[in-house]
Amino acid sequence: MRLRLVPKNTKWDFFDWSGVTLGASVLAVIASVVLAVLVGLNFGIDFRGGTMIRTESAQPIDIGDYRDAIAPLDLGDVTITEVFDPNFDADQNVALIRIQAQEGGESVSAELTEAVEAGLKTVAPDIRFVGVESVSPKVSGELIMTAVYAVLMAIAAVLVYIWLRFEWQFAVGAVAALVHDVVITIGVFSILQIRFDLAIIAALLTIVGYSLNDTVVVFDRVRENLRKYKKMDLKEVLNLSINETLSRTVMTSVTTLLALGSLYVLGGDVIRGFVFAMIMGVVIGTYSSVFVASVILLRLGVKRDWSKTDGGAGTQFANIDA
């Protein structure tokens, strides 16, 4: 007996509530931008500058005691969090200590790191530093701009690719879906105040690729059906195309989420933020391929006479393989 996540030969209408779904997406994007501006992101050491120390000891962690032990060093903004992981042993207690960049634009020096370790040994004699990462404020500022450019260049490249492969209406829908996915993912990070570092930027770029792949599969079938059913209404063509590719879309998303779910639970705290961003991206990207990209394509319309060449339509490269 074969497992089917989607019934065979579905004929669902994905555009009955297109106004509601598109409106909800627009509101979600606006809310995400407002949250990112007003609440802000919980930037990691990569973007804020400073030092992150990962400690480990057999003694249970008391964050208050840790904070009191290093308070005399007057290090400014210090954040201490206990790390929980199902893979840790019973006597493996891990904490992350984030210390802001010090005056003069420098991260915490080796001498101060030793002083922090000495102070913590007064409350946990067996404590040891298993990882120390430092980034200067100047470098962190450059990293922020580089990350922004990377995401914008990826989206711009997608715009050109889809325009050459299909038509400009397809390109607008695809890019709108990508912006939708990236902005809402950032908004969720702002709400939950999950640490935002370079690993999350890598996740955002991966989301762009994943969402694009899903959208191109749908658009390829749309283009094929537009040529096959020349007199069929565009809405019917889109519904037919989405239904025909729905099984592939759901299967791909579910198998990807199964792998990501395992990584989130068992992968440890080091990659948990990256995996969370990927999970958000897969869910939102699957949604946007149908309810954002396709809806925008329906609103913009598309050239139906595929037998004639239109040099301005951007279809002269439509047969380029993906």
In tens, the pLDDT along 82-95 reads: 887 777 888 888 88
Encoded tokens for 49: 């500058």
> 86 and 27 in one domain?
no
Instruction: Give the pLDDT score at 103.
Output: 66
Residue 305 has pLDDT above 50, yes or no: yes
The pLDDT value recorded for residue 198 is 80
pLDDT in tens, 182-195: 999 999 999 998 88
Least confident stretch, 123-137, 159-173, 297-311: 297-311
Whether 209 and 80 map to the same domain: the answer is: no
Stretch 74-85: mean pLDDT, rounded? 79
Between vectors from CA 112 to CA 108 and to CA 118, what angle results, nearest 5°?
Answer: 135
Mean pLDDT of 107-115: 76
289 Cβ contact partners less than 8 Å away, ≥ 6 residues apart: 177, 211, 214, 215, 218, 249
Q: Is 122 found in the same domain as 145? A: no
pLDDT of residue 78: 78
Query: Is 60 exceeded by the pLDDT of residue 40?
Result: yes
In a domain, 315, yes or no: no
Q: How confident is the model at residue 279 (pLDDT cuts 50, 70, 90)?
A: very high
Domain that holds residue 161: 18-43+140-300
Distance in angstroms (rounded) separating the CA atoms of residues 62 and 60: 7
Q: How confident is the model at residue 313 (pLDDT cuts 50, 70, 90)?
A: very low
How far is Cα of residue 127 from the mean position of the Cα atoms in its chain?
35
**What is the CA 247 to chain-centroid distance, rounded?**
24
Residues 234 and 247 in one domain: yes
3-state secondary structure of 14: coil
Confidence of residue 316 (pLDDT cuts 50, 70, 90): very low
Check which CATH number belongs to the domain holding 156 and give it. 1.20.1640.10
157 C-beta neighbours (distance < 10 Å), count:
12
Is 70 exceeded by the pLDDT of residue 321?
no
Pair of tokens at residue 60: 């249970």
The total domain count for the chain is 2
Asked if residue 193 and residue 72 are part of one domain, the reply reads no
Mean pLDDT of the chain: 81
**Is the pTM for the entire model greater than 0.85?**
no
Residue 184 lies inside a defined structural domain of this protein: yes
Residue 3 within any structural domain of the chain: no
Q: Are residues 197 and 94 in the same domain?
A: no
Q: 201 vs 302, which has greater pLDDT? A: 201
Q: What is the mean pLDDT of residues 110-139?
A: 81
Q: Indicate if 129 and 189 belong to the same structural domain.
A: no
Percent of residues, the chain, with pLDDT higher than 90: 12
